Amino acid sequence: MIINGTQIEETFAEAFGMSATRIIITAIDAKWARIAGETMTGFATSVIGCGVEAGIETELHPTQTPDGRHGVSVLLFAMSGKALAKQLETRVGQCVLTCPTTAVFSGMQGEKQIPLGKNLRYFGDGYQISKQIGEKRYWRVPVMDGEFLCEESVARTSAVGGGNFLVLANHQQQALTACEKAIAEMGKLPNVIMPFPGGIVRSGSKVGSKYKSLMASTNDAYCPTLRGLVNSNLDNDIGGVMEIVINGLTEADVRQATRIGITAVCEVGAAGGIKRISAGNYGGKLGQFHFHLREVMA
Amino acid sequence: MSMPSLKLRAVLNHRLDMSPFTPEFVADKSADEIARTPIWLGNRQVDTGELFEIRDNASESLLIQSESDKLDMIGAAMKHGSILVEGNAGAYLGRSMTGGEIRINGNAGLAAGCAMRAGSLVIEGDAGDFLGGALTGERQGMRGGRISVQGNCGDRVGDLMRRGTILIGGNAGDFCASRMVAGTIIVLGQCGRHTASGMRRGSLITAGKPTSLPATFNRNGIHSLSFLTLLRQQIASQTGFSGLSEIANEVERWVGDLSCDGRGEILILQS
């Protein structure tokens, strides 16, 4: 399959089942809502080292938030509900509770609940106030700028993490430009995040390492500087490879994001130096979700 | 599902215990069966058919039509369904109800919604003393649900209230929110004397400064509280309370009652 001169490789991305949640952070204005969202989703690129993968899903207009202020919705993905709950509590406690003017709300409904304000309320040292409004319980925690308002719990759901595709270009800059275009389009989609810096990964990994202490190491088959040294997957004209990793609430969300992303990259096409689209997998034995690139783009 | 209507035939000289007639009780009964149901009138039992005209009502609500204020315990302990009262109700309207909705277009007597745990009680007229209060001897009053009164209320609204929301469109009498344990009371009119006396926790939100506050309340200052946005959205859709949507979050806050737990609050809306 060739789209606009770019070859779509006959391969598939292998993704995993994860546990996910969505919270809504509001603040006095869009700037502070975004600061809170960015802070709590910092150091959240990969579960391998960060415990959680998180990102801002979208910015919210005051008409879209529970308390009528500017906000952001944040998606968090972890390998288990327990890990998700721990990371959520830590990150909201350290990054949102501390951020001026913020409030936090549940962003999804569901039967499985994890604590949000349920434990954070103890920061109030006994002066916290519970408020039941409708079917939901909120906590009002006294802080130095007034009150931190926090919903008691948030739903979690099963989700899909680790969808991906690789962009192989003549030069590093060409790969980056194409990936930036893809992220711009994918960022408009609901229910997905691309957790790596700017949505783009330059250090794709393989499972295992020559060093026993490492679970993962550089994806040598796609490193241009290792061509001729290892069993490389790169043609001689490939000078830069970048990866976009996609986490979504459902398989369909990841599939759609993959399609939108690859389409955007292919619009740059061979004329822009994009030679090939590939994907990362582990032979299909580790992840239960397989996104065959040619099927996705068909 | 079609529910019956019960129309009071005569003027009552004694109080009448209406507690048997919950939606779940009448749902699978014929008019004859309902007519044969014994009810307490004062200290004697009579058949319901002696006092009420019973008809099929093309509605999903159990309809009770009465101008008497002696029909006590309407909807007591009801779990689900709907009761519509055309006229007035006596004491203990919706006592200990755990679900469903009661709507009355007249006035309610003493202790409406007392010991209520869930559900909705809408009173379009006035309500008597001890609205949302406790059963005699119990240490906690209303424990959930929502009471909405479009008119005025008597004394001791929300006495010992533990959870839930009480909305009052008019004025509240003396000792409003007395001994309140937790929950939310909103009074769009004026509260009487000794407001929130013995209040431990919970919120009393009022549009007008109470006539008098206990000396054991301290002024906390003017604040803008974001939870009020959520509360306002929740109740502004209620008939008679739409005006709340135009009120800002700014409140004058008083904290107390410092003679007991002292973690309650009176929020006076700043128009």
Please list, in sequence order, all residues whose beta carbon lies within 8 angstroms of the beta carbon of residue A110, skipping any fewer than 6 positions away.
A155, A156, A157
A129 has a chain B CB within 8 A of its CB: yes
Q: Per-residue pLDDT averaged across B178-189, rounded?
A: 95
- Which percentage of chain A shows pLDDT scores above 70? 100
* Yes or no, beta carbons of B229 and A68 under 8 Å apart: yes
What confidence category does residue B121 fall into, taking pLDDT thresholds of 50, 70 and 90? very high
A66 has a chain B CB within 8 A of its CB: yes
On chain B, the residues whose CB falls within 8 A of the CB of A62 are: none
- Which percentage of chain B shows pLDDT scores above 70? 100
- pLDDT given for residue A125 in this prediction: 96
pLDDT of A214 above 90: no
- pLDDT given for residue A189 in this prediction: 97
* Yes or no, beta carbons of B182 and A66 under 8 Å apart: no
Residue B242 lies in a domain: yes
Residue B116 lies in a domain: yes
Distance from CA of B226 to the nearest CA of A (A): 7
Which residue of chain B has the CA closest to A142? B225
| Residue whose entry in the numeric block shows the structure tokens 């951020």 | A99
Mean pLDDT of chain A: 95
What are the tens digits of pLDDT across the range A19-61? Answer: 999 999 999 999 999 999 999 999 999 998 899 999 999 999 9
* Yes or no, beta carbons of B227 and A146 under 8 Å apart: no
* Yes or no, beta carbons of A133 and B230 under 8 Å apart: yes
Q: CA A121, CA A141: separation in Å to the nearest integer? A: 6
CATH classification for the domain delimited by A2-14+159-297, as one of 2.140.10.10, 3.40.50.10110, 3.30.70.520, 3.30.365.10: 3.30.70.520
Specify the range with the lowest mean pLDDT, choosing from A146-160, A185-199, B27-41. Answer: B27-41
* Yes or no, beta carbons of B227 and A131 under 8 Å apart: yes
pLDDT of B96 above 90: yes
| Residue whose entry in the numeric block shows the structure tokens 């019956």 | B4
Q: Can you read off the two tokens belonging to residue A90?
A: 């830590």
On chain B, the residues whose CB falls within 8 A of the CB of A125 are: none
Residue B247 lies in a domain: yes
Residue B77 lies in a domain: no
| Structural domain for B130, as ranges | 107-269
Q: Which residue intervals of chain B are DSSP H helices?
A: 23-26, 31-36, 48-51, 227-235
Residues of B at the A interface, defined by Cβ within 8 angstroms: 144, 163-165, 182-184, 201, 203, 223-227, 229-231, 233-234, 263, 265
Of A129, A130, A147, the CB nearest to B226: A147
Please list, in sequence order, all residues whose beta carbon lies within 8 angstroms of the beta carbon of residue B205, skipping any fewer than 6 positions away.
B184, B185, B186, B187, B228, B231, B251, B266, B267, B269
Mention the CATH class of domain A18-157. alpha beta
DSSP code at position B40:
E
* Yes or no, beta carbons of B230 and A67 under 8 Å apart: yes
pLDDT of A97 above 80: yes
- pLDDT given for residue A33 in this prediction: 98
Of A68, A69, A140, the CB nearest to B227: A140
The neighbouring-strand residues paired with B269 are: B251
Q: CA B254, CA B265: separation in Å to the nearest integer? A: 6
Please list, in sequence order, all residues whose beta carbon lies within 8 angstroms of the beta carbon of residue A102, skipping any fewer than 6 positions away.
A25, A26, A27, A32, A33, A36, A96, A148
- pLDDT given for residue B44 in this prediction: 95
First to last CA, chain B: 46
pLDDT of A135 above 80: yes
| Residue whose entry in the numeric block shows the structure tokens 């302990």 | B77
pLDDT of B58 above 90: no
* Yes or no, beta carbons of B226 and A149 under 8 Å apart: yes
pLDDT of B9 above 80: yes
* Yes or no, beta carbons of B226 and A127 under 8 Å apart: no
pLDDT of A132 above 70: yes
- pLDDT given for residue A236 in this prediction: 93
A164 close to A280: Cβ distance less than 8 angstroms: yes
Which residue of chain B has the CA closest to A65? B230
A33 has a chain B CB within 8 A of its CB: no
Residue B240 lies in a domain: yes
Which of B163, B186, B228, B230 should we substitute to test contact with A (largest number of A Cβ atoms within 10 Å)? B230
pLDDT of B78 above 90: yes
A145 has a chain B CB within 8 A of its CB: no
Q: Can you read off the two tokens belonging to residue A25?
A: 């952070």
Residue B101 lies in a domain: no
Which residue of chain A has the CA closest to B203? A131
On chain A, the residues whose CB falls within 8 A of the CB of B182 are: 130
ipTM score here? 0.89
DSSP state string for A47-60: HHHHS-EEEEEEEE
On chain B, the residues whose CB falls within 8 A of the CB of A69 are: 226
* Yes or no, beta carbons of B229 and A67 under 8 Å apart: yes
Q: CA B83, CA B61: separation in Å to the nearest integer? A: 5
* Yes or no, beta carbons of A146 and B225 under 8 Å apart: yes
Specify the range with the lowest mean pLDDT, choosing from A20-29, B126-135, B184-193, B209-218. Answer: B209-218
Q: CA A67, CA A61: separation in Å to the nearest integer? A: 11
Residue B75 lies in a domain: no
Which residue of chain B has the CA closest to A136? B230
Which residue of chain A has the CA closest to B146? A134
For chain B, what is the domain count? 1
User: CATH 3.30.70.520 in chain A, residues?
Assistant: 2-14+159-297, 18-157
- pLDDT given for residue B248 in this prediction: 77
pLDDT of A191 above 80: yes
Q: CA B103, CA B91: separation in Å to the nearest integer? A: 15
Give me Rg for the CA atoms of chain B.
19
Q: Per-residue pLDDT averaged across A146-171, rounded?
A: 96
A100 has a chain B CB within 8 A of its CB: no
Handedness of CA A29, A30, A33, A34 (dihedral sign): negative
What confidence category does residue B1 fall into, taking pLDDT thresholds of 50, 70 and 90? low
Angle at B43 between CA B40 and CA B44, to 5 degrees: 60
